[in-house]
Amino acid sequence: MAGVAALYVNLVRLFSTPKEIGLGATFQIWGYSFDLTTFFLISTAAVLILLIRSYFKISRWNGPADAIYAAHQDMQPLDIKTGFASTLAALVSACGSASVGQYGPLVHFGATAGTALKQWIRLPMKSDVVIGCGVAAAISAGFNAPIAGIIFAHEAILRHFSSRAMAPIATSAIVAAAMVNFVFQLPHPLSLRSQAPTLMLSFLPVVISGVLFGLVAVAFMQSMRYLARLNGRLGLKTYQSLIVAVIAVTVIGGFFPQTLGLGTVALAEVLNIPPSLGFAAALLVFKILLTSICLGFGFFGGVFSPSLLIGAAAGAVFAKAFDKIGFSDLNTALALAGMASVAACVVGAPLATIFIVLELTLSYEFTLITLLAVVVSQVVSINIFGHSFFDRQLLDRGIDLQFGRGQLSLTQTPVKTYANDRFVSVSQDQTAATVMQMLRAMDMTEAYCTRSDGYFEGKVTINQLLGARHDALIKDVLTPQPVSLLTSHSMLEAIEIASGFVGESIPVLDPETHQMAGVVTEADLFEAYLNIQAGIQEVEKS
């Protein structure tokens, strides 16, 4: 991961150099001059994105949301080919000046690399642990913050702490940081040239700004979702969507080149050189817009880096506002707090983000101010939007992690797994007396009426038989539509359906042929639930 992070950073830096020098060719729109360098780079990136999609047959790029999902279950592991292709697409997008981030792709690459190693060399470790190792190494290498990497892996990906996972994850993070410092010697991602104000003097502005940072994070996340849905509603082909993004990058980048790419240089300037109110506000608005267009219309990359610059720009805006009412010298403090707060809301990792600030600044004062802003912004963001942008992405795909691994496992386990053939099967033309004898012989109280091909026709209980004549035919006393389950139902759906059921067993039917696949009892459902819970406890407590 340290090697990949170094390659990623150096390649993006290499392709950012021609943008600073310029190709010398320009074109003008409405009196404004635009450098062709950006247009050339983003157009080339768009072509490469199309080639990557075609070669790897990619229908949807994979990111941190997929890593989170894979860490919570074993039935649908990460797709290694798609993971590597997504990282390559993110690198191409970043090198082409698209307004995307690097840390999300690195996080997913780390998760994919861990999964690949587990498969290729048969590592004797759980899938969630190897995913956590890769993620921790990615954050550690990307930010040169090993402690934050360890916490991020547990907080944002695994969503639990365990002694079994701590040792390998910590080792991965520490080794990655050591490689970055002593082998690849990557530059420090953040440097501050000002001192932190006292917490007492900045308390009120930080609390108020924390609320506003939460709203900015919500606006950013909603903007990304809206433009992605807009692209879907327009029904554009992939190349047409990319053309829209190319135009947006060229035009907006021509006015505000600080919105292009990863935004690392712009972030350092906002933190250390107080920008004007108009510039900071424009940077905030256009960075949100351009990132949303790039990600919604075909380019791929992370949301962590853009959220850092968006938060810093928001902090600079609020610092200017507070400066007018007597709270001075808050630019760096609020920009840093905004950077951390918006990022924490977007990725759902407040503790890891705070430790990133602590490890990068080595300032206890700045960290306390950041902690206060992050806590406040989290309350706002969670109540309006949800836990994180990644959780909302999963929720849009019908995957709800709100209730943890237990419910997810119940959702993924089909009820037909627990269906059995311990039931009495009868035909419509048999008599009540005959079926009563069959029930006595099997020590059961219910029978199921089926045709010779297994088609389900109904259910008859011993109470119905006792109330009927001995020579009555089953077709005259059965219940044609009893409480039933479908083979497509999950265990969670089965438990919900069975919550109001009274009886011996429930038939499980094929939704297409209406044939019986078996029956399940309430005891079967309880046993399945307890087995799944026991497995979850083993993962989270070991």
| pLDDT for the residue numbered 510 | 93
Residue pair 315/271 in contact by the 8 Å Cβ criterion? no
Task: Give average pLDDT by consecutive 10-residue segment, the chain, 542 residues.
Answer: 89 72 57 74 95 94 94 87 95 94 93 92 86 95 92 92 87 94 76 78 94 98 96 94 94 89 90 92 97 96 95 96 89 95 96 93 91 96 95 90 78 87 91 92 92 90 90 91 92 88 90 92 86 73 57
Round to whole Å and give the CA distance between 494 and 234. 38
pLDDT of amino acid 169: 95
> First and final CA of the chain: distance in angstroms?
26
Q: Which residue has the tokens 């010779």?
A: 452
- Strands 26-29, 32-35: pairing kind: antiparallel
Whether 385 and 492 share a structural domain:
no
Q: What are phi and psi of 64, to 5 degrees?
A: -55, -30
Q: Indicate if 167 and 302 belong to the same structural domain.
A: no
CATH number for position 504:
3.10.580.10
- Whether 227 and 137 share a structural domain: no
169: its two tokens? 């994850």
Query: What strand order describes the sheet that includes 424-426?
Result: 424-426, 446-450, 456-461
Secondary structure of 451-467 as H, E, C letters: CCCCEEEEEEEHHHHHC
Angle between helices 364-384 and 199-234 (to 10 degrees): 40
**Rounded to an integer, what distance in angstroms lies between the CA atom of residue 323 and that of residue 280?**
14
Cα gap 489→439, rounded to integer Å: 28
Answer for the pair 102, 305: CB distance below 8 angstroms, yes or no. Answer: yes
Tell me the CATH number at 386.
1.10.3080.10
Identity of the amino acid at 267 = L
In a domain, 30, yes or no: yes
Is 402 inside any structural domain? no
Q: What is the pLDDT of residue 21?
A: 46
Reading the block at residue 383, the tokens are 């109540």
Asked, for residue 540, whether it belongs to a domain, the answer is no
Domain holding 450, by residue range, is 411-533
Q: Is residue 189 part of a domain?
A: no
Q: Is residue 280 part of a domain?
A: yes
pTM here is 0.85
361 and 263 in a single domain? The answer is yes
The strand pairing partners of 27, in sequence order, are: 34
In a domain? residue 254: yes
Domain boundary among 184, 218, 243: 184
> What is the C-alpha separation between 106 and 114, in angstroms, rounded?
12
Q: Are 376 and 455 part of one and the same domain?
A: no
Q: Which of 397, 430, 458 is the last residue of a domain?
A: 397
- Shared domain for 312 and 269, answered yes or no, is yes
What was the pLDDT predicted at 32?
60
Last residue of a domain, one of 184, 214, 231: 184
Could you say which DSSP state residue 180 is in? I
Q: Are residues 173 and 276 in the same domain?
A: no
The pLDDT value recorded for residue 433 is 92
- In 108-170, beta strands by DSSP E: none
Asked whether residue 423 falls in the same domain as residue 492, the answer is: yes
Given this model, what pLDDT does residue 26 score? Answer: 63
Same domain as 165, residue 239: no
Q: Count of domains in the chain? A: 3
Asked if residues 408 and 398 have their Cβ atoms less than 8 Å apart, the reply is no
- Whether 226 maps to a domain, the answer reads yes
308/255 same-domain check: yes
- Is there a domain that residue 541 lies in? no
- 320 plus 204 within the same structural domain: yes
User: Residues 96, 205: one domain?
Assistant: no
- Residue 108: closest CA among 127, 90, 126, 129: 90
